[in-house]
């Protein structure tokens, strides 16, 4: 049995946390949420159904427009949401309901609670059945995965602004922390400094990676006690208000070898080719074909793409989805991407948005050294 909670949430603002009071209000934009609701109702119309149950972090944070629905970063959401033709019904546990009502609930969403030991999905389905005589079971999110992914491809004005701000802050954090690094700094020391800064701006560090020169062969390098040595890579994937910003940066403490400098230039050229292929209407599997061709074109070998995933659309998931030969989604304007081509000892990664005027880099800090590649400013290795 669920209990309905009456709450009067504060309308969303661009900055949900108030520095003066420390209080958080739901970041949701009423205008953006109305568009998202219409997109979901269109899915229901296409499926001939009356309700849809949203249960994943990606779908929930997108539809609620930035609400936090987690406790453990490694755990399941602590809420489920039923979208029906009468309204939106968010169900959470009784020990979470007060905070959700005060800090995360968008206007126009009814909140229901179940005991902490209850079943969120069953309770959310029951809410719909209780409100509509003869209502059947809701459509499962897994049945319309592709439709929901298409619905969240094109970022709306409010979320575009929040994403740009998060991305710029993450780029600035990377500049600050790597500028203070030294050869004797350990990988754990570096990622702990990154983590402190990420959390301090209200974001959640989903992925923090680092490899010093002794571990440069690893492309997903979880940190160790090893010192950075002469050269290092750092990666941040951070989430705030549901949106995930991703970037990679390199630092070195010498002039670099000719081989390294050459590989860095060539991987930037691979990325430039990927950006050229990321145009409205392009299918992701065709972009993937261009990625594979770019590696061969720039001297990395035809099989280099097999050594690491290549990224893909971004936004409310780290990759939404990772690009593969089976990804047939079409690219749209205002869609975010994080491509991450890599080769032996080199990798480039930024969060970008495809605008009407082309690719716009969001994870940008003017203080970081950069060079122009195919008309776009791209980061180079920070040399200290």
Write the pLDDT tens digit of every residue in 303-337.
999 999 999 999 999 999 999 999 999 999 999 99
pLDDT of residue 4: 57
Q: Do 182 and 293 fall into the same domain? A: yes
**CA distances (Å), origin 142, targets 73, 138, 212:** 21, 12, 40
Selected residue with higher pLDDT from 193 and 8: 193
List the one residue out of 255, 245, 253 whose CA is nearest residue 361.
Answer: 245
pLDDT bin (cut points 50, 70, 90) of residue 134 is low
Same domain? For 147 and 162 the reply is: no
Range of the domain at 43: 3-151
Shared-domain flag, residues 100 and 161: no
- Residues 209 and 266 grouped into a single domain: yes
Q: What is the CATH number for 20?
A: 3.40.350.10
Average pLDDT for residues 346-351, to the nearest whole number? 98
Please report, for the domain that includes residue 379, its CATH number.
3.90.230.10
Q: What is the pLDDT of residues 230-267, one digit of tens each?
A: 999 999 999 999 999 999 999 999 999 999 999 999 99
Model pLDDT for residues 182-197, shown as the tens digit of each residue = 999 999 999 999 999 9
Same domain (yes/no): 330, 260: yes
**pLDDT tier, 382 (very low <50, low <70, confident <90, very high otherwise):** very high
Q: Are residues 71 and 181 in the same domain?
A: no
Domain closes at, from 151, 167, 185? 151
Q: Are residues 62 and 199 in the same domain?
A: no
Q: Which residue's structure tokens are 């006690």? A: 225
Please tell me the predicted confidence (pLDDT) of residue 23. 84
Residues 227 and 80: their CA atoms lie apart, in Å, by 44
Same domain, 62 and 207: no
pLDDT value of position 26: 87
Q: What is the pLDDT at residue 43?
A: 98
Tell me what the mean pLDDT of segment 378-383 comes to. Answer: 98
Q: Is the pLDDT of residue 12 over 60?
A: no
Domains held by the chain: number: 2
Per-residue tokens: 51: 């309700």
Could you tell me the sign of the dihedral formed by the alpha carbons of 257, 258, 260, 265, in that order? positive
Give the integer Cα–Cα distance in Å for 61 and 36: 12
Instruction: Round to whole Å and give the CA distance between 351 and 346.
Output: 17
133 and 268 co-located in one domain: no
The SS3 of residue 119 is coil
Q: Which of 151, 183, 218 is the last residue of a domain?
A: 151
Q: 151, 175, 203 — which closes off a domain?
A: 151
Q: Express each pLDDT in 353-377 by its tens digit.
A: 999 999 999 999 999 999 999 999 9
Nearest-angstrom CA–CA distance, 342 and 264: 9
Is the pLDDT at 133 greater than 60, yes or no? Answer: no
pLDDT at 130 (0 to 100): 60
Q: Are residues 332 and 263 in the same domain?
A: yes
Output the average pLDDT for the chain: 93
Examine the domain organization and report whether 138 and 210 are in the same domain.
no
- Where b means 16+ CB within 10 Å and e means fewer, 4-35 reads ebeeebeebeeebbeeeeeebbbbbbeebbee
pLDDT digits (tens, 9 = 90+) for 60-105: 999 999 999 999 999 999 999 999 999 999 999 999 999 999 999 9
Is residue 119 located within the same domain as residue 210? no
């Amino acid at each position: 049995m669920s209990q309905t909670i009456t709450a009067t949430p504060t309308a969303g603002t661009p900055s949900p946390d108030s520095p003066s009071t420390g209080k958080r209000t739901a970041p949701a934009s009423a205008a953006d949420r109305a568009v998202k609701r219409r997109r979901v109702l269109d899915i229901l119309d296409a499926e001939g159904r009356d309700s849809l149950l949203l249960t994943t972090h990606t779908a929930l944070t997108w539809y609620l427009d930035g609400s936090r629905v987690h406790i453990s970063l490694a755990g399941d959401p602590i809420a489920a949401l039923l979208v029906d033709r009468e309204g939106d019904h968010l169900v959470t546990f009784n020990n979470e309901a007060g905070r959700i009502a005060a800090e995360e609930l968008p206007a126009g969403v009814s909140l229901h609670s179940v005991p902490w030991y209850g079943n969120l999905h069953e309770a959310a389905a029951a809410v719909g059945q209780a409100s509509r005589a003869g209502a059947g079971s809701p459509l499962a999110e897994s049945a319309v995965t592709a439709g929901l992914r298409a619905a969240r491809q094109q970022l709306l004005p409010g979320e575009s602004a929040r994403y740009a701000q998060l991305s710029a802050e993450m780029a600035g954090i990377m500049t600050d922390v790597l500028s203070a690094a030294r050869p004797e700094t350990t990988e754990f020391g570096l990622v702990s400094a990154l983590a402190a800064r990420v959390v301090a701006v209200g974001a959640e560090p989903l992925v923090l990676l680092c490899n010093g020169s002794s571990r440069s062969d690893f492309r997903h390098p979880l940190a160790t006690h090893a010192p950075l040595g002469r050269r290092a890579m750092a990666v941040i994937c951070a989430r705030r208000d549901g949106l995930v910003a991703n970037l990679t940066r390199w630092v070195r403490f010498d002039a670099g070898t000719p081989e390294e400098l050459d590989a860095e230039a060539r991987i930037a050229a691979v990325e430039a080719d990927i950006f050229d292929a990321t145009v409205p209407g392009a299918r992701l599997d065709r972009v993937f074909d261009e990625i594979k061709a770019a590696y061969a074109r720039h001297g990395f070998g035809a099989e280099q793409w097999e050594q690491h995933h290549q990224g893909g659309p971004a936004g409310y998931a780290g990759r939404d989805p990772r690009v593969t030969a089976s990804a047939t989604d079409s690219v749209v304007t205002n869609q975010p991407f994080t491509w991450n081509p890599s080769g032996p000892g080199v990798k480039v990664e930024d969060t970008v948005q495809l605008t009407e005027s082309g690719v716009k880099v969001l994870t940008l800090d003017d203080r970081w050294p950069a060079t122009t590649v195919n008309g776009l400013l791209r980061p180079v290795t920070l040399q200290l």
